[in-house]
Amino acid sequence: MKLLRYGDEGQEKWGMLDSAGGIRTLEDALAQIGGEPVSLEWLAQLQKLDSAKLPLLKAAHRVGPCVPRPLNFVCVGLNYADHAAETGGRIPKEPILFLKSLSAFCGPYDDIVIPPGSRKTDWEVELGVVIGAKASHVSEAAALDYVAGYTVVNDVSERAYQTERAGQWDKGKGCDRFGPVGPYLVTKDEVPDPQALKLFCEVDGQMMQDGTTANMIFGVRRLVSYVSQFFTLYPGDIIATGTPAGVGMGKKPEPVFLRPGQSLRLGVQGLGEQRAKTIGG
Q: For residue 216, give the 3-state DSSP assignment.
A: strand
In which band, very low, low, confident or very high, does the pLDDT at 85 lie, cut at 50, 70 and 90? confident
Contact 238, 66 (CB under 8 A): no
Domains of the chain in start order, with CATH, are: 2-53 (no CATH), 73-280 (3.90.850.10)
Residue 163 is predicted with a pLDDT of: 86
In which band, very low, low, confident or very high, does the pLDDT at 156 lie, cut at 50, 70 and 90? very high
Contact 84, 78 (CB under 8 A): yes
Q: Is the pLDDT of residue 167 over 80?
A: no
In which band, very low, low, confident or very high, does the pLDDT at 30 lie, cut at 50, 70 and 90? very high
Of 38-42, 82-86, 113-117, 205-209, which range is least confident?
A: 82-86
Q: Quote the CA–CA distance of 265 and 153 in Å, as a whole number.
A: 12
Q: Is the pLDDT of residue 190 over 90?
A: yes
Q: For residue 159, give the 3-state DSSP assignment.
A: helix
Output the CA angle 96-101-107, nearest 5 degrees: 110
Give 202's strand partners: 207, 265
How does the average pLDDT of the chain come out, rounded?
Answer: 96
Contact 235, 44 (CB under 8 A): no
Task: Of 79, 63, 111, give the one whose Cα is nearest residue 264.
Answer: 111
Q: Quote the CA–CA distance of 210 and 38 in Å, as a whole number.
A: 30
In which band, very low, low, confident or very high, does the pLDDT at 6 lie, cut at 50, 70 and 90? very high
Residue 169 is predicted with a pLDDT of: 85
Q: For residue 83, give the 3-state DSSP assignment.
A: helix
Backbone angles phi, psi at 222, to 5 degrees: -60, -40
Residue 259 is predicted with a pLDDT of: 97
Give per-residue pLDDT as tens, 9-22: 999 999 999 999 99
Residue 203 is predicted with a pLDDT of: 98
Percent of the chain with pLDDT over 90: 91
Q: Quote the CA–CA distance of 142 and 160 in Å, as a whole number.
A: 39
Kindly state the average pLDDT of the residues 244-268.
Answer: 96
Q: For residue 146, give the 3-state DSSP assignment.
A: helix
Contact 1, 29 (CB under 8 A): no
pTM of the model: 0.97
Give per-residue pLDDT as tens, 57-84: 988 899 999 999 999 999 999 999 888 8
In which band, very low, low, confident or very high, does the pLDDT at 90 lie, cut at 50, 70 and 90? confident
Backbone angles phi, psi at 256, to 5 degrees: -125, 130
3-state helix, strand, coil in the chain (%, to 5): 20, 30, 50
Task: Of 212, 208, 204, give the one whose Cα is nearest residue 276.
Answer: 204
Output the CA angle 250-107-99, nearest 5 degrees: 60
